[in-house]
Amino acid sequence: MTSNPDSAPWVPIAAQKQRDRASRIPQKWQIPSSTLPKDPPTISDGPQNVLNVPRQFLTHSEIEITEAYTVESLLAAISSKRLSSVDVAEAFSHRAAIAQQLTNCLTEPLFESALSRAKFLDGYLEKNGTTFGPFHGLPISVKDTFNIKGVDTSIGLAYLCNKPATSNAPLVDLLLSLGCVIIAKTNIPQTLASLDSVNNIFGRTMNPINRLCTAGGSSGGEAVLVAMKGSLVGIATDIGGSIRVPAMCNGLYGFKPSNNRIPYGGQALTNAEGTSRTSVQAVAGPIARSVRDIDVFMSEVIPRATAWGEDCMPCPWSLSPPSTQIKGSGPNGELVIGILRSDGNCTLLPPITRILNEVSVSLSESSSRQFIVNELLTPYAWTKSQSVMSKLMGVEGGQLMSKMITDFKEPIVPWMQTRFRTGKAQTLERVAELQAQRSALEREMLSLWSKVDEFGRQQQVLDAIICPLAPHPVPPIEGYNAVGMTSSFVLFDYPTATVPVRNVVEDDLELGRPLAAGNVLSSWDEKCRELWNEHVTDRRVYLGTPLSVQVVTQRGRDEWLCRVMGVVDEVLKSQIERVKAKL
């Protein structure tokens, strides 16, 4: 006899958590039910873009505060007392509350504590005549994985609900010491291993650009809140693409640093403690609306990281100079950019090929600065890396996560049903073997970046790589496929960033034209092709979704990555403006 799923232990916990969350949205910030999108979304309803819906319910001042400022200009307005921290915190909290109602992006609204914190900051500035720190009053949000004292770090699991953290994560303490105001914690997927942010406790986070498509994961709620302008900077994490993929899905900038740059500790444990140091380590990083906002954020956090995180090393960071002062490894100081296309596991769908071609041409023909753009052959190491990465991520066997799910009889969410596996922890010998394979792949990748001259000296020949984040556009809900193009750079520990380029237009869809014939490269490729097969997927679902590229530099060159992505972004924006001017 089958038991009633409604009687499973997780059900009342989820209901209570959702009631608690709803109760923390003030009545005055509730929006009419007639404004809410239709669920479940259908192709006949269209994308139901809600990015600008909050403007209907905000004051002119709240709209200006949440839309008109960069990190630098907002901090300047607060420090000069043109804006108060309370006004800023209230405006962003109000917008975040509306974003939650429209997209289900929050797990823990922290509006009350944010306003209390803002009042303290205003009092400090008034009393001392100086700001509390360089980020005095900056409204930020954090992924649910980070501990905040007195708040659950449930990561969408009943097992971890109603167990508030007893201390802050080191990064949270660092950000508070700089003067930040934390608006909310944001939603994630069950197991943190999905690229579609849905769990049984809080439900599914929806993409505000196109409700038919995924919001990404595992930092989906973080990216959605930043896209909805309910937070100025989102603090996320990445091990397979969890910063970069949600940034791609929501048309934002995401920055995955190298290891040991930003404190990572003080988060929910999903494996036995210490496991990550035997396999592959996740990193924390920002999601923001511009490269400059990321640059400003990193310039204050990175130099201070070693005082807060035992997992960090000393690293300076200076704000990027004007692009004309950035010298690359070309013979005349040109930036040498390599275009790396398919990883050998998946065929690129036409919109991805097209956007890579456009970026390559824009850089090659740039009049603002000189680039040397080279097409790179796919290294075997990039093809092989996804398999090694998958094995290293599973060395613990998923035992702890499995226990947390099964103890409360939670169902596995759709995307994970065929992917979540449990088994025995790998032996030390097997882990060592996988790490040896990793080292061999890392060595092979070195040949991309430099060449040995006739005297045996290494010469830099490549400054950055531009490649896809995925072989497909932002896919329908549950449709995200291969992660090798993002997870590989975690295996190599390369700093990597997402740069949005433009949105999908009808011409990109090539309606009625099938994908060019070719050998199916892998099981991942087979699933990817279904996203273009008009008998399986209505390609109109992609209209208006963002097209982005991934910018990659060598391990440890995080500051350089920020400079290069800034230059690339500047050139691409200029090209878009030139195209608009011709229309």
What is the pLDDT, as a whole number, of residue 264? 97
Residue length of the chain: 583
pLDDT by 10-residue block (mean), the chain, 583 residues: 72 98 98 96 95 98 98 98 98 98 98 98 98 98 98 98 98 98 98 94 98 97 98 97 98 98 95 86 98 98 97 95 88 96 95 97 90 96 95 92 96 90 92 97 96 93 98 96 93 98 98 90 93 96 98 98 97 81 61
Q: Quick one: pLDDT at residue 407?
A: 97
Q: Is residue 475 part of a domain?
A: yes
143 flagged as catalytic: yes
Q: Which residues are annotated as a binding site?
A: 192, 218, 239-242
Q: Which of 197, 242, 276, 279 is catalytic?
A: 242
Domain presence at residue 2: no
218 tagged catalytic? yes
292: nearest Cα among 316, 323, 261, 259: 323
Beta strands in 432-518 (DSSP E): 450-452, 458-460, 464-467, 496-503
Query: Do the domain assignments include residue 167?
Result: yes
Give the annotated binding-site residues for substrate. Answer: 192, 218, 239-242
Q: CA distances (Å), 581 to each of 151, 362, 368, 502, 570, in order?
A: 50, 16, 17, 16, 17
pTM for this prediction: 0.97
Q: Is 167 an active-site residue? A: no
| Residue 39 within any structural domain of the chain | no
Residue 404, H or E segment: helix 399-406
Structure tokens belonging to residue 357: 């071609």
Angle at 115 between CA 113 and CA 116, to 5 degrees: 60
Tell me if 186 is assigned to some domain: yes
Catalytic-labelled residue, pool 143, 229, 384, 391: 143
Catalytic residue among 85, 197, 218, 219: 218
Count structural domains, the chain.
Answer: 1
CATH number at residue 519: 3.90.1300.10
Q: What is the 3-state secondary structure (H, E, C) of 119-182?
A: HHHHHHHHHHCCCCCCCCCCEEEEECCECCECCCCCCCCHHHCCCCECCCCHHHHHHHHCCCEE
Tell me which residue range forms the domain holding 484: 9-34+47-313+324-582
* Domain annotation covers residue 42: no
Q: Is residue 4 in some structural domain? A: no
**Mapping DSSP to helix (H, G, I), strand (E, B) and coil, where does residue 96 land?**
helix
41 located within any domain: no
